[in-house]
Amino acid sequence: MRPCEGPASSAAPPDRRPSSLATAAEGARDILPAVMVAVPIGLLLGALCRSKGIHAAEAGWMSLLVNAGASQFAAVQLWANDGPRLGPILLSTLLINVRHALMSLTLVPKLAKAGMTRLRMCVALALLTDPTWGFAEQRARAGLPVTWSYWMGLALVFTAAWAGATMAGAWLGAYLGDPRQIGADFALAALFIGMTARFWMGWRRTGFAIAASGLSSAAVFHTLGAPWHVMAGAMAGIAVAYFAARPEQAQEPQPA
């Protein structure tokens, strides 16, 4: 063997893993459909903030710090013209956002598997929204890691767009007209329907849970009113999904 052959044959193969910047760009690209849906909703929220006397900068800070559209709409709608009603606002936002605890529970194992530290997990989950959760879960289902850079690509782009749209809506205010006339208020619901369709696993595992959630939420909304219907729908869907999964778990062969 010639002397030059040894080092050449023992050379390590090049690392073909994508760079952090490329992974972040992938996350930013994946979240763009959700951004396009969130912008008209943010404009609507900003216009509502202005009608309650909330300035554009305050509306933008709320979207950056709270970053939860449904609870922000609930809080602003409960906001009296002479100031906030803290009791009803705190209760409604708690009931609406309690789902984030469940979403975090499903994401933590996937973030840990991708090598994310506890500190980074806390930062990542502070930026958790429904769209970022949905796209992260879809990536994990495809067998791809939900890395720190990918998550930041998702979360920072979506949060910046949401806050910017809220501020723009508060600035423009009455010049925008009523976005509901063109169906913009249904955009967020349409996004959730599309995300749910991508998680479809059959009637027994998915369909019955959705039906139970929708029916119980509608029943509670027309009896107790908001925001109790959010909690009722979540609990009913979780219960049905749990009992639907039990027969499959019982049939799985146990290791010898």
pLDDT digits (tens, 9 = 90+) for 213-234: 889 989 988 998 777 777 788 7
pLDDT tens track for 72-91:
888 887 776 666 677 778 88
- The predicted model gives 93-112 an average pLDDT of 87
The percent of residues in the chain predicted with pLDDT above 70, rounded, is: 79
CA dihedral sign of residues 44, 45, 49, 52:
positive
Calpha distance 53→163 (Å, rounded): 18
Question: Which residues, 6 or more positions from 32, have their beta carbon under 8 angstroms from its beta carbon?
Answer: 157
The whole-number pLDDT of residue 256 equals: 45
Contact 61, 37 (CB under 8 A): no
- The predicted model gives 24-29 an average pLDDT of 95
Confidence of residue 247 (pLDDT cuts 50, 70, 90): low
Contacts 24+ apart (CB under 8 A), 74-80: 74/226, 74/227, 76/45, 76/48, 76/49, 76/52, 77/48, 79/52, 79/54
Give burial (CB, 10 Å; 0-12/13-18/19+) of 127: middle
- Is residue 252 scored above 80 in pLDDT? no
CA dihedral sign of residues 105, 110, 115, 120:
negative
The whole-number pLDDT of residue 180 equals: 64
pLDDT tens track for 163-219:
999 999 999 876 766 666 666 667 667 767 776 776 677 777 778 888 888 899 899
- Is residue 69 scored above 90 in pLDDT? no
Q: Choose from 7-16, 41-50, 78-87, 247-256 the range with maximum mean pLDDT.
A: 41-50
pTM above 0.75, yes or no: no
Phi, psi of 66 (to 5 degrees): -85, -50
> Identity (one letter) of the amino acid at 99?
R
Average pLDDT, rounded, for the chain: 81
